[in-house]
Amino acid sequence: MSEETRLIHAGLHADSGKPKATTVAPVIQKGSTVLLPNAAALYEDDVYITYGRQGLAAHDALKDALCSLENAIRVELYPSGVAAVVGAMLAVLKAGDEVW
């Protein structure tokens, strides 16, 4: 696939080439309250949506598109710039390291 068309195809099913959703853009989902079967489900991020800032259809579509555009294996989204910087630092620093 040419570089010019990768963005257009990001977010499509690789096997069928059809959109993952039936709408042009991902649906807007309100995430103020998410119902879970029990308290343990709060820690099962791969199975359940745990809060409105993560795991919704729009987030998944954005992550898929960014993976495609950057040829990445995985993408993480953060709610703020500070959270992104801390996430990057935690990925490379270990106990006892100093940051100047």
- By the 8 A CB rule, do 87 and 78 touch? yes
Token pair recorded at residue 94: 């270990």
Paired tokens of 67: 């993976």
Tokens 């343990």 belong to which residue? 40
Please tell me the predicted confidence (pLDDT) of residue 51. Answer: 60
In single-letter form, the type of residue at position 86 comes to: V
∠ CA 86-90-93, rounded to 5°: 125
Say if residues 39 and 30 touch (Cβ distance below 8 Å): no
User: 65 and 10 in contact (C-beta within 8 Å)?
Assistant: yes
How does the average pLDDT of the chain come out, rounded?
Answer: 77
pLDDT(24) > 90:
no
Residue 29 pLDDT grade (very low, low, confident, very high; cuts 50, 70, 90): low
Calculate mean pLDDT across residues 79-87: 91
**pLDDT higher than threshold 90 for residue 26:** no
Spatial contact of 74 and 67, defined as CB atoms under 8 Å apart: yes
Report pLDDT digits (tens) over 63-77: 888 898 899 999 988
